[in-house]
Amino acid sequence: MAEIDHIVVGASSLEAGAAWLLQHLGVSPQKGGVHEGFGTHNMLLGLGPACYMEIIAPDPGQPNPPHPRPFDLDNPGVKTMLEAEPRLLAWVARTAALDTITAKLGPRGGEVKEMRRGDLHWRMAFPPQQQDMDNLIPALIQWNGHGASSRLHDSKCRLRLLEAEHPEDVAARAALAERGLEGVLKLRHSPHARLLAHVLRPDGTEVTLASG
């Protein structure tokens, strides 16, 4: 069984992402770190004891990586969109059975990559970009020890619900099920694909963040 680990907001820069977050949720993210070799860096916002928000942006302090940056950050359309304003891009699911799931999926499960930042250590598998169904199928993460959410201040914001819309909702539902994610994401048919995160602010009001 897998569950939501974090939601991912893309930005053209971390400064733009932090300002956008303050405007929409009334809180500021914490400093994250650098993803060496991936060309990205991030900031983080705790959404309770087992969930958080990641703001990710290209890192100008790193050379361009030899492979595309994660979450379609190098896609021309996504880059243009994020230059206008930050936006919800994707989500990541946590599992304790990463090897079992990726072995079952074969090439569709993506390559498992080791990642580390300071004393945080995790392994991740991104589905091939042509099979991620517009980022509705999540990357899978397995933490070695405690995950990032355990290190974060509680912002008092909470992820109330994660939803998705897709024209191929039956195929998307099957892809989620084979990753142990039945019922984790509320999914419905729509002619346009998008991800929606319903987040409660500290004052109890709800904000909907959308990928499209």
- pLDDT attached to residue 115: 87
Contact 2, 98 (CB under 8 A): no
The whole-number pLDDT of residue 146 equals 86
Assess contact for 140 and 91: CB atoms under 8 A: no
Domain containing 77 equals 3-210
Task: Specify the pLDDT at position 170.
Answer: 95
Tabulate helix, strand, coil % of the chain (nearest 5).
25, 35, 40
The count of domains in the chain is 1
Write down the pLDDT at residue 207. 97
CA distance 198 to 203: 14
Q: What is the pLDDT of residue 131?
A: 76
CATH of the domain at 78: 3.10.180.10
Which mean pLDDT values do the consecutive 10-residue runs of the chain (212 residues) have?
Answer: 93 98 97 92 95 97 93 94 97 96 92 86 87 90 91 96 96 94 93 96 97 86
Contact assessment for residue 167 and residue 192, using Cβ atoms and an 8 Å cutoff: yes
Residues 6+ apart with CB under 8 A from 19: none
